[in-house]
Every structure is written in C-alpha cells, then in structure tokens.
Amino acid sequence: MALERIPALIREEGGISRASDPQMIKDIQSAVSIPVMAKVRIGHFAEAQILQALEVDFIDESEVLTPADEHNHIWKHDFTVPFVCGCRNLGEALRRLGEGAAMIRTKGEAGSGNIVEAVRHMRQVQSDIKKLTVMDQDELMAGSKNMGAPFALVQQVAKLGKLPVPNFAAGGIATPADASLMMQLGAETVFVGSGIFMSEDPAPRAKAIVEAVTYYKDPKKLVEISTGLQSAMKGLDMSEIPEEERLQERGW
C-alpha cells in the first residue's frame, strides 16, 4: 500500500488527507516487484484516474483519507484497475459491489491498533449473509430494500452463502493472533495493519502476521510465529475515539 502517512499518524496529525504524490508511487513501483495498491478519497474519481494512469495494481477507495464526496462513491465500472472498498455490514458491501468494486474489506477502525471493530464488522457481514441463505424470494426482495442493495447481488449471496468477491479483514490487525482470529471468523485474507510501523519491530511483525494467515488454524505454529516479537503499537480503546472522529463512519 502506497501511503504518505499511516492511518495512526493521519488520526494524530489531522488536516486533509489526500491521495499520495505520483512520484512517491512511481518510486515504490520501481523499487518492488510485488503488486502496488494506492488509496483515493471516497468519491474522488479524478484521483482514481491518475492512479490508473500510473498503472497501479489496485485502488483502495478509502475512508482513511478525507472524503471528497459525502453522497457518492466512485462509479468503479468506468475503470479497468480493480478497486477494493470497505464495509461494516452486508448492505455496504453490496452497494460497493454494485458500483463495480472487485474486492471487499471489513473496515475495522484504521489506525487504532484495536481489533474489536474489525471483529464486529466481520461478524456482522457473516451474520447478514447467514440470514439471506434461509430467506424466500419475497423475503430477499424486502431484504434488498432494507439494505439498499441491488436485488441481483442479494440473490447471488443468498445462493452462494458468501460474497461473490474476496472478503479481506482490515483495521486494527496488529498481531499474528489478530490475523488468525479474523481468518477464523471468515476473512479470506487480511490487510496487515499499517500500525506495525508504530511497533518496535515492523519487519519481523509483518512477516509473522503474513505467516499467521497461512497457519491460522495451527495453534502450535502460531506459538512459534508469535514468540520473540517485541511490543506491538500502543493502540487506542474505542472509548478514546469520539464517534465523529471514527474513520469507519465515512462513506455509506
């Protein structure tokens, strides 16, 4: 992920947070062989056009940056580069898919170092999906209305018993155990929290979290992976973050 400031610093320093400098993204692309993802503000399709011209591999329409449009998300069908978008529940996920998102991530609370909101959002999405799987067609139509989601996608999720695209977990994942927890709750993979850069051992911690995604069902392996790491980022209790300052509240 190409970022000028990690979410924890965005929260701490305040101000308007925008898409990254194109030169910084070019430098990252030149330095690495892995896919490069970059963030744009919610609704800022011009930033997305620039990132597509830069040939980034993925775009994250992110609540971490200051929203550019309070009413509209980007119409992602106009782009060839795949988008990932955040959600707190199934309705939000399906609205983003209706706009053309290729991947979904549960929002959590970025920059908090606290896994509780990621857990809440993943459990909510999974609960919403389970409810759809036992509904009749007339109930699905009512469910579509209540969620504000496209009916065809509601029908598809009810049939599949899962989202039709990969569902990542994000926001507050700071330890290998956090990654294992989210995988066991139904995530198909995780975004390693950028808060690792606020820890005492960013590189070993990132490697350990990646390994935890592979071995998330193997407690003995998780012991090995987790042993010897230094302190994670301090993190914030949700009571310390006023509701109006919670990044997850951005977007709809």
- Dump pLDDT digits (tens) for 77-117: 999 999 999 999 999 999 999 999 999 999 999 888 899 99
Q: What is the pTM of this model?
A: 0.92
Residue range 7-233, CATH number: 3.20.20.70
* Residue 181: Cβ within 10 Å count: 20
* pLDDT < 50: residue spans in the chain: none
pLDDT computed for residue 221 by the predictor: 98
pLDDT computed for residue 5 by the predictor: 80
Between the CA of residue 103 and those of 4, 24, 96, what are the distances in Å?
A: 23, 25, 9
pLDDT computed for residue 99 by the predictor: 98
The string of DSSP letters for 127-181 reads HHHHHHHT--HHHHHHHHHHHT--HHHHHHHHHHTS-SS-EEE-SS--SHHHHHH
Characterize the bridge pairing of strands 189-190 and 103-106: unpaired
Residue boundaries of the structural domains of the chain: 7-233
* Marked catalytic residue, from 39, 131, 162, 217: 39
Active site residue 107: no
Q: What is the pLDDT of residues 23-33, one digit of tens each?
A: 999 999 999 99
pLDDT computed for residue 193 by the predictor: 67
Beta bridge partners of 103: 84
